[in-house]
Structure 1
Amino acid sequence: MWNDNESLSDYIDYSHLSKAVTTIIDTDNLLPCSIGIYGDWGSGKSSLMRMVEKKYENDSDILVIKFNGWLFEGYEDAKSVLMGRIVDEIISKRKFSEKAVKYAAKLLKRVDWIKVAGSSLKYGMSFLTLGPVGIAAMSLADTMSKMKDIDYENYIKEKQEKGSDDSDDTLRSNIQEFHKNFEALIEETKIKKIIVFIDDLDRCSPDTIIGTLEAIKLFLFTKKTAFVIGADERLIKYAVKRRFPEVPGENLEVGRDYLEKLIQYPIRIPPLNRIELTTYVNLLFSQLYSKDFEEFDGIRNHFMQAKLTKGFDFTLDQTNISEFFKIKNTEFDDAILLCSQIVPVLNLGLNGNPRQAKRFLNTMLIRISMASAKSINLKRRVLAKLMLLEYFKPETFTDFHDIQAGNNGEISLIEKLENITSSAIEDEDKEGEKTNSLTPEEKILLEDNWIIDWIKSEPKLAKENLQPYFYFSRDKLAISAVNIQRMTPKAQEMILKLLSESEAVQKIAVKGLATLSSSEAASIFEALTQKVRQEENLSNSKSFKALFELCREKPELKSQIVIFLNKYPDHKLPAVTTTHAESLLKDSNPEALSQLLTSWSKSPNKVLANVAKKKIK
């Protein structure tokens, strides 16, 4: 298997992206600057930042500082935490003269004052009048409990009497002095430039995100500094929306404008295309079966150099992998064959996301390992094919599990579907005879192009004993096992909007459903069905309503909702279910609708049965 951490080895060819970042950093007249590396969760932001960082980490004239905002989640003032961290890094990594010591001491003092001033703005200006001795003697909670009555008029009079020279008493002057001291410290310590890498910002709370970004712009945006921020752009915009909820109009526009002020150079990591994902997966397997990592990394680098000269269409696949990797292993050959079969589906379904592809493969290898512990040999190609169904058509996967459980691991329906789709049938009567043997619920599977392609793909499953494959998929079959981790930020945001209390937000979400990838739609469907299963009353269930909205915008999920409705206890279904089903299936799948209504008309749920009977008439 492969670890899920950032990597210094480039399996995708990010050379052009890293060059874009380093060119900005190396151009002195562009400093100070802020660079945003944007991409979806799992797109490779951290790895790209690590590759850029490596170029500078051995340069004694450049100070590289790494800051993970997620690790400091929970600190009250993100600004002062980031400022203090940068000053501490300079202290620990540079040799100081007496003058540098004084500058650093002033900086630390001002960081503390800015933190206190931030609290005073939150809790009341008179907090500042305590002075450093008073502040040191009491906790913030104790101080605030004693500051119930704030005399603003007296505060203003005292400030006017002291005059403008008392710089330690105001936040603004402390920020200005911080700039001066910071630049002086950089000069005194002979630092050519400071590069701050800020990662995992999109995992933080909105307040931490905004506080960190404001620290970059307001406090630390000084000469010879470059900030490289890795984040999902959409989550940053969401944080901005939370920060400015009162701003009318389209919130995403507010987020965009705000982000443009804070991030000068946005660099976006695009999803992998089919060629890139093929190369990525084949390199993963090549690394897995290579005995020497250094030797593998040299060959990987050689391939990347060849890619630069041979163009965008050059890929590492079955036709040329032996020219680069001399691996004599039948399992390796099988893995490369497997790659050619599943990558096209993974690319479409996982929206070109490298981490999701890696996790799919890791799950596959984990199950093979578990089976081997019981002396069971799972065929990779069979397992991978079933896992594709598990990922993209979860209701059909669960239905097939139930069928094989009562039939010694065989699924007769798969054999029927394989026979129907095995070749083009010119005789319509014979084709009709074959499809007539299917129930309406089974026929609707043949209206799903994804299912048809899956049935046609190798290997055939008709005569396979699938019991062990489903046995080692039990984690997925558990109701509580919604795989939130494979939901993209877009899918997570979409499901939050679909379940929002605001009808306006729900309507906006519905309009955006058609833009979801197959994997995103499947993961949302799975999450919604599991929420519905956990609810006691579906009459006013937002999850239940959202299921039908999703299937209306993503017709390929209609077969899944028919299976779901057939298996759901009808005594718990509200009468409105018949209307939802009718609007979804009446024109496109009348047989499936008729079968559902007939079943419900016999339900002990009298209200549901009566409405179903009326609709049948």
Structure 2
Amino acid sequence: MWHDNETTIDYLNFGVVADACASLLRRAGGAPISIGVSGGWGAGKSSLVQMIASRLKEADKAAGAASSGAGAIAGDEAKQNTYVVVTFNPWLYQDFESARSALLQIVGDEVLRLAEKDPSLLKKAKRLWQRINLLRLAHLGGEAAVTITTGIPVGPIGKAIGKVVGLMSSAGEEEESDDEKEEGVELSSLGGLIKPGQPLSLPNEIHAFRVALEKLLDELKVTLVVFVDDLDRCLPKTAISTLESIRLLLFIKRTAFVIAADNEFIRGAVKVHFEGTGITSDIATNYFDKLIQVPLHVPRLGVNEAKAYLVLLLLQRATEDGQYSSENFEAAKASISSRLRQSWKGETITAEFLYGLVGSDQELVKLMDLAQGLASLMFQATAVSANPRLMKRFLNTVFLRSALAEPQGIELDIPSLAKWHLLERCDETLANDLAAMVNSENDGRVEILQLAEAAVEVGDTLKPPFKDDAFTREWLNLAPLLGASDLRALLHLSRDTATRDFGDDNMTPESRELRDTLKVATSGHAELTALIVKVGQAQAEIAMTKAWQSNASSRTWKAAKEVFMLIEVCKTFPELGKKAALLLNQGPLKDIGPGIIPPLSRQSWATETLNSWHEANEVQKATRNAINAPLKKGI
């Protein structure tokens, strides 16, 4: 199975973007910078963020090694700026702690860690951490906020603030130096941050916190790079709280922020936050834009990239199964990456290129063919839109079904499972319509599917229930063809998406009796009507459908008696007219004769079908005249 976690392994050719972003962060030279990584759900934002962080760490390590080897360089020139990467996921703190407080605390903890080897810097780091706690308490409101803003303990919470925050000065603590008496509150009591009876100015304290953090980072010779991920998984309140805390830290020297979020989600969160203020979409957009200096969009996958991604996922699986060597897989990754980088020159992922990766192994060749066919369809289908996460989940489902097949004695190859699951994912209505036509009597084969495949091969128009569009045509043409295959095994393995019936197990004895009666009935009678009423609408629909399918081989589409079963059931249950019309629409237009028109013209549920036949050029003139006759008479 492919895990749905972020990764630094580049299957999507994001490495070029990650390199550019890491270079941008290094070139900032300690100047504050904020980068927004935007992309929809599952587009690969988290993986891109991980790649950027990995590049930054690698560059920092290389710079450190170069510095240690330059022994002749002395003084400030030998000092290298270190990039310290901190990752913050506000989604993890949702409903547990304010995301704003959590981010400040994580920053404070990291600064403490960096300063722990230098007693002088450690003392300043602890003071910074105290300021963070002060701001966190002020954010709580109530007695804590009143105590902090007035300097007078209020209530039990106010009296316990010193102990809660850990700011009480212990006996014998050294007096703070002059450079510790920064702008903001005086450092005299409650750990030096609150002076009894003197109100605290939060704007001044925020400014003092920023100044203290900037000085400390400069002395540590580090640039703090904060990666904020999964912001678009949060509730609007948490998302806005995180952005507000980021705003508190933004534009401090030696800080950088990389914020991964879906722009559409942020706009929505801002609107929810400011609900009732009449905020417009433009203002909501500007809110996020003011936090971001460099907007970076996750590259959208084209057919070429989708193909490469599917190929690498399939080859990864083959490598883990021992079907493909690790050396070949590494070579394939490098070769595909190189080809994608040259795609602007027309270097596409062709069939010949893929066959060259796998050699003569026919099972792997089939997988390469599958990736090529799926990539185009997954790019076209709005249900997938070449989304990396959805493609990965798609393959997980396919291989899970394959694993379930073996213990049940079912022999199905991956391409067949993938083709059917693609239809379930992208056109559930058609998948359900085809599934309803599968039964034991026709050995699991669906005649209209085979006819549709033949129509695509010669370029004929597709008839309902198939849509005559590019996706359906390409799906029908995707190997392997399924029209002549027994689909019962496929449907059995896809029970997670719908209730599948390919026998008579879900039919009552009365329903089976009705099915057999409808297959031979040519006229109505009281006993037949009573039986239809007795079985009920649900069972009557199954019986009607199975009777219609059973007579498919003998149906000429010319005799009125052939449509009697549909008319008789719909007289009792008019709600089944839509199903009856769908069955009628399967008719081969060139074979439809005028004889079945009179009884159908009296059924309201058949009107739309008759109109479509009347407009079709393939329908013979006599049939069109028969359809037109009731219209002239005003029937």
2:377 maps to 1:345: yes
Matches within 5 A, 1:356-371: 356-371=390-405
The one-letter amino acid of 2:213's match is: F
Question: Quick one: distance in 2 between partners of 1:571 and 1:210?
Answer: 53
2:292 maps to 1:259: no
Contact map agreement 1:401 1:470 (CA 8 A) in 2: yes
2:270 maps to 1:240: yes
Where does residue 271 of structure 1 map in the other structure? 300
Moved more, 453-462 or 42-51: 453-462
Deviation of residue 415 (structure 1)?
2.7
Question: Quick one: distance in 2 between partners of 1:211 and 1:458?
Answer: 51
Question: Quick one: distance in 2 between partners of 1:451 and 1:308?
Answer: 32
Q: 1:424 to 1:15 in 2, by over 3 A?
A: closer
Contact map agreement 2:194 2:200 (CA 8 A) in 1: no
Question: Quick one: distance in 2 between partners of 1:360 and 1:272?
Answer: 16
Question: Quick one: distance in 2 between partners of 1:210 and 1:5?
Answer: 25
Matches within 5 A, 1:368-379: 368-379=402-413
Gaps of 5+ in 1: 140-158, 426-430, 436-441, 480-565, 578-590, 601-615
2:157 paired residue among 110, 126, 135: 135
Question: Quick one: distance in 2 between partners of 1:595 and 1:40?
Answer: 51
2:429 maps to 1:398: no
Deviation of residue 286 (structure 1)?
2.2
2:309 paired residue among 264, 276, 280: 280
Question: SS of 1:266's equivalent?
Answer: strand
Where does residue 527 of structure 1 map in the other structure? none
Question: SS of 2:299's equivalent?
Answer: coil
Contact map agreement 2:375 2:386 (CA 8 A) in 1: no
Moved more, 234-243 or 312-321: 312-321
Question: Quick one: distance in 1 between partners of 2:413 and 2:436?
Answer: 21
Question: SS of 1:362's equivalent?
Answer: helix
Where does residue 7 of structure 1 map in the other structure? 7
Moved more, 310-319 or 102-111: 310-319
The one-letter amino acid of 1:135's match is: I
The one-letter amino acid of 2:365's match is: D
Question: Quick one: distance in 1 between partners of 2:23 and 2:432?
Answer: 51
Deviation of residue 125 (structure 1)?
4.4
Question: SS of 2:301's equivalent?
Answer: coil
Query: For this pair of structures, how many residues does the alignment match?
Result: 461
2:147 maps to 1:113: no
Deviation of residue 118 (structure 1)?
1.6
Q: 1:124 to 1:54 in 2, by over 3 A?
A: closer
Question: Quick one: distance in 2 between partners of 1:172 and 1:115?
Answer: 14
TM-score, scaled relative to structure 1 = 0.67
2:222 maps to 1:182: no
Question: SS of 2:352's equivalent?
Answer: coil
Where does residue 415 of structure 2 map in the other structure? 381
The one-letter amino acid of 2:450's match is: E
Question: Quick one: distance in 2 between partners of 1:390 and 1:596?
Answer: 32
Where does residue 333 of structure 2 map in the other structure? 300
Q: 1:81 to 1:122 in 2, by over 3 A?
A: farther
Deviation of residue 365 (structure 1)?
1.2
Matches within 5 A, 1:325-344: 325-326=357-358, 329-344=361-376
Question: SS of 2:290's equivalent?
Answer: helix
Deviation of residue 84 (structure 1)?
0.7
2:452 maps to 1:417: yes
Where does residue 520 of structure 1 map in the other structure? none
Contact map agreement 1:35 1:227 (CA 8 A) in 2: yes
Tell me: higher relative CO, structure 1 or 2? Use CA pairs within 8 A at least 6 residues apart: 1
Deviation of residue 404 (structure 1)?
0.7
Question: Quick one: distance in 2 between partners of 1:75 and 1:51?
Answer: 29
Q: 1:117 to 1:327 in 2, by over 3 A?
A: farther
Question: Quick one: distance in 2 between partners of 1:138 and 1:377?
Answer: 70
Question: SS of 1:86's equivalent?
Answer: helix
Question: Quick one: distance in 1 between partners of 2:2 and 2:602?
Answer: 47
Question: SS of 1:443's equivalent?
Answer: coil
Q: 1:570 to 1:29 in 2, by over 3 A?
A: farther
Q: 1:449 to 1:421 in 2, by over 3 A?
A: same
Question: SS of 2:8's equivalent?
Answer: coil
2:112 maps to 1:91: yes
Q: 1:455 to 1:570 in 2, by over 3 A?
A: farther
Contact map agreement 1:202 1:231 (CA 8 A) in 2: yes
Identity %: 28
Task: After superposition, give the CA deviation of every residue in 1:42-85 in whole Å (9 maximum; x if it has no partner).
Answer: 11111111111112335362211111111111244322210110
Contact map agreement 1:317 1:336 (CA 8 A) in 2: no
Question: SS of 2:296's equivalent?
Answer: strand
Contact map agreement 2:226 2:257 (CA 8 A) in 1: yes
The one-letter amino acid of 1:207's match is: K
TM-score, scaled relative to structure 2 = 0.65
Q: 1:254 to 1:121 in 2, by over 3 A?
A: farther
1:171 paired residue among 202, 217, 220: 202
Q: 1:247 to 1:31 in 2, by over 3 A?
A: farther
Deviation of residue 322 (structure 1)?
4.5
The one-letter amino acid of 2:364's match is: F
Where does residue 605 of structure 1 map in the other structure? none
Question: Quick one: distance in 2 between partners of 1:594 and 1:356?
Answer: 46
Q: Please identify which structure carries the higher helix content.
A: 1
Gaps of 5+ in 2: 62-81, 162-185, 501-568, 579-596, 608-633
Deviation of residue 597 (structure 1)?
4.2
Contact map agreement 1:120 1:126 (CA 8 A) in 2: no
Task: Name which one, 1 or 2, has greater alpha-carbon Rg.
Answer: 2
2:605 paired residue among 598, 603, 615: 598
Task: After superposition, give the CA deviation of every residue in 1:532-585 in whole Å (9 maximum; x if it has no partner).
Answer: xxxxxxxxxxxxxxxxxxxxxxxxxxxxxxxxxx99x97999xxx9xxxxxxxx
Q: 1:310 to 1:413 in 2, by over 3 A?
A: closer
Where does residue 610 of structure 1 map in the other structure? none
Contact map agreement 2:445 2:486 (CA 8 A) in 1: yes
1:230 paired residue among 248, 256, 260: 260
Q: 1:413 to 1:353 in 2, by over 3 A?
A: same
Where does residue 498 of structure 1 map in the other structure? none
Q: 1:336 to 1:69 in 2, by over 3 A?
A: same
Matches within 5 A, 1:541-580: none
